[in-house]
Amino acid sequence: MNVPFVDLKSQYRSIKEEMDNAILNILENTAFIKGKAVEDFEKDFATAIGMKHCIGVGNGTDALIIALKTLNIGPGDEVIVPANSFIATSEAVTAAGARVVFVDNHPETYNIDVTKIEQSVTKRTKAIIAVHLYGQPADMDAVLAIAEKHNLYVIEDSAQGHLAQYYSENGGWKMTGIFGHIATFSFYPGKNLGAYGDAGAIVTNDDQVAKKARMYANHGRISKYDHEFEGVNSRMDGIQGAVLGVKLNYLPEWTEKRRAAAAYYSAHLQGIGDIVVPFFDEQKVKPVWHLYVIRTNKRDALLEHLINKGIAVGIHYPIALPNLKAYQYLGHKPADFPVASAYQNQILSLPIFPEITREQQDYVIENIKTFFS
Ligand SMILES: *Cc1c(COP(=O)(O)O)cnc(C)c1O
């Protein structure tokens, strides 16, 4: 048996007719950049997560850069980011002209360790980027409390967190994206809500922030040649808007399927060898399982075993951000980030996607069992 890491083909087949029509409609109308499909998607996505504004942009990395620029963050400023994330999170800080400050991750949730944020706050700190890694919301109450105390902006990088929920002490269950001043999403094809190419979005409830972000993403203009400031070109394509519009209707159902698959893995993997299954606090978070990440000291051998059995696995991420060559200039040692540095050799992402079958999951579980026996 072969188990892919994600199966975008079977997803496409399940919605082929509807999807083909939506894309053909864009071709007929030649609405290639922005246009009605993008506007409709922006409205529908904002509604789906309970926000006022959504601005479609070119990709999730641009969304972060535009968010930082919109908040006037740049040279001389510092931005706190988790040590365990995809490089886009920290790359955006540098692209905006600010300085990256890494904070280690929590030993159980893999998200930013909120107990270690304050020691990294300086006079130059302007913002914290909270990443909802693997689809599990970061501890937003704690992040917001620190931000309020030190007068910092909070940006949520929800590239992996579409429809994830967090229980806030002063608002109950809410979707990620609503907690910070501005939030960003990626619709890279492999994300929980994936386009058929690159796409991303910025969401916010602040009218002024929304207006500025929309202008920034479109050459600093509102109307065609009326440029109030210099921005960039980062707009969502009409085809991507149409694709995302179709898929958004299925996202709640697909999310439930991911949750069922994650629960099935955890029930059956618990107790095998030294495996640590993902931890989450049911009272506080409802993850959306962009990734299902286990931990074991035999990671490399297990990875090889599973690959040999036709099971596609991944490592997210094999080198913690501060340990990358790209950040050598910061002069960190792995010991500065003990959790992220240890985990980079222990974490393993198993196949998870809405269409994964019980047979595929059983095959993964059986092969993990034989490895440890
Ligand atoms: C995918 C991802 C991004 C970047 O999104 P792109 O659309 O690929 O530019 C940013 N942050 C995180 C955590 C991601 O997983």
> Token digits for 277?
């299954």
User: What total of structural domains would you count in the chain?
Assistant: 2
Ligand 1 atom nearest to CA at 61: 9
Q: Is there an atom of ligand 1 within 6 Å of 59 CB?
A: yes
Looking at residue 225, its pLDDT comes to 84
Evaluate the omega torsion of the peptide bond into residue 153 and state whether it is cis, within 30 degrees of 0: no
Ligand 1 atom nearest to CA at 199: 7
Using the mean position of ligand 1's atoms as its centre, give its distance from the Cα of residue 190 in Å.
10
Q: Is there an atom of ligand 1 within 6 Å of 89 CB?
A: yes
Using the mean position of ligand 1's atoms as its centre, give its distance from the Cα of residue 33 in Å.
21
Please indicate, yes or no, whether residues 66 and 175 belong to a single structural domain of this protein. Answer: yes
The dihedral over CA atoms of 44, 48, 51, 52, expressed in degrees to the nearest 10, equals 20
Using the mean position of ligand 1's atoms as its centre, give its distance from the Cα of residue 362 in Å.
30
Residues forming a β-bridge with 152: none
Looking at residue 170, its pLDDT comes to 84
Q: Is there an atom of ligand 1 within 6 Å of 61 CB?
A: yes
Please indicate, yes or no, whether residues 17 and 159 belong to a single structural domain of this protein. Answer: yes
Looking at residue 141, its pLDDT comes to 97
Q: Is there an atom of ligand 1 within 6 Å of 7 CB?
A: no
| Structural domain for 173, as ranges | 8-248
- Specify if 27 maps to a domain: yes
Question: What is the spatial distance between Cα 282 and Cα 262, in angstroms, rounded to a whole number?
Answer: 14
- Specify if 203 maps to a domain: yes
If one residue of 111, 188, 293 were mutated to test the ligand 1 pocket, choosing by the most ligand atoms within 8 A of its CB, it would be 188
First vs last Cα of the chain: how many Å apart? 21
Nearest CA to ligand 1 atom 10: 88
Q: How far is CA 132 from CA 88, 138, 263, 291, in A?
A: 13, 5, 19, 11
Ligand 1 atom nearest to CA at 88: 10
Nearest CA to ligand 1 atom 7: 60
Q: Is there an atom of ligand 1 within 6 Å of 131 CB?
A: yes
Torsion region of 299: left, alpha or beta (phi above 0 gives left; psi -120 to 50 gives alpha):
alpha
The burial of 188, by beta-carbon neighbours within 10 Å (0-12 exposed, 13-18 middle, 19 or more buried), is given as buried
- Specify if 119 maps to a domain: yes
- Specify if 325 maps to a domain: yes
Residues forming a β-bridge with 184: 157, 202
Ligand 1 atom nearest to CA at 290: 15
If we measure between CA atoms, which residue out of 158, 153, 192, 200 comes closest to residue 176?
158
Looking at residue 223, its pLDDT comes to 83
**End residue of a domain, out of 223, 248, 273:** 248
Ligand 1 atom nearest to CA at 160: 15
Using the mean position of ligand 1's atoms as its centre, give its distance from the Cα of residue 373 in Å.
37
Q: How many Cα atoms occupy the beta-carbon half-sphere of 372 within 13 Å?
A: 16
If one residue of 157, 240, 289, 291 were mutated to test the ligand 1 pocket, choosing by the most ligand atoms within 8 A of its CB, it would be 157
Query: How many other β-carbons are positioned within 10 Å of the β-carbon of residue 230?
Result: 9
- Specify if 2 maps to a domain: no
Q: Is there an atom of ligand 1 within 6 Å of 73 CB?
A: no
**End residue of a domain, out of 233, 248, 263:** 248
Please indicate, yes or no, whether residues 364 and 218 belong to a single structural domain of this protein. Answer: no
| Per-residue model confidence as pLDDT tens for the chain (373 residues) | 999 999 999 999 999 999 999 999 999 999 999 999 999 999 999 999 999 999 999 999 999 999 999 999 999 999 999 999 999 999 999 999 999 999 999 999 999 999 999 999 999 999 999 999 999 999 999 999 999 999 999 999 999 999 999 999 988 999 999 999 999 999 999 999 999 999 999 999 999 999 999 999 999 998 888 899 999 999 999 999 999 999 999 999 999 999 999 999 999 999 999 999 999 999 999 999 999 999 999 999 999 999 999 999 999 999 999 999 999 999 999 999 999 999 999 999 999 999 999 999 999 999 999 999 9
Please indicate, yes or no, whether residues 85 and 216 belong to a single structural domain of this protein. Answer: yes
Question: What is the spatial distance between Cα 261 and Cα 117, in angstroms, rounded to a whole number?
Answer: 33
- CATH number of the domain encompassing residue 358: 3.90.1150.10
- Specify if 168 maps to a domain: yes
- CATH number of the domain encompassing residue 205: 3.40.640.10
Ligand 1 atom nearest to CA at 59: 7
Please indicate, yes or no, whether residues 358 and 296 belong to a single structural domain of this protein. Answer: yes
